[in-house]
Amino acid sequence: MTLAMSAGLRASFEDAAEMTRKALFENGFGVLTEIDVMATLKAELDAAIDGLSRASSAQ
């Protein structure tokens, strides 16, 4: 038996992140930290992942 759920969201990355923060706050939660993985890869390894960016994640 397989059970799966999915949801779609038509919003930019920035809008989706803000909606998520707001929903968390309204339910007594929050964001403790944020990590920019792309910036970390660039700074630490001078590396980039082709085809992966905030712009490509927006639907």
Tens digit of pLDDT for each residue in 2-50? 999 998 889 998 999 999 999 999 999 999 998 888 888 888 888 777 6
Q: What is the pLDDT of residue 43?
A: 87
Rounded Cα distance between 52 and 37, Å, is 11
pTM score of the predicted model:
0.56
Residue 36 exposure: Cα atoms within 13 Å on the Cβ side: 10
Model confidence at 53, in pLDDT bands (50, 70, 90)? low
In 3D space, the residue among 40, 34, 29 whose CA is nearest the CA of residue 14 turns out to be 34
Identity of residue 23: A
Rounded Cα distance between 43 and 29, Å, is 31
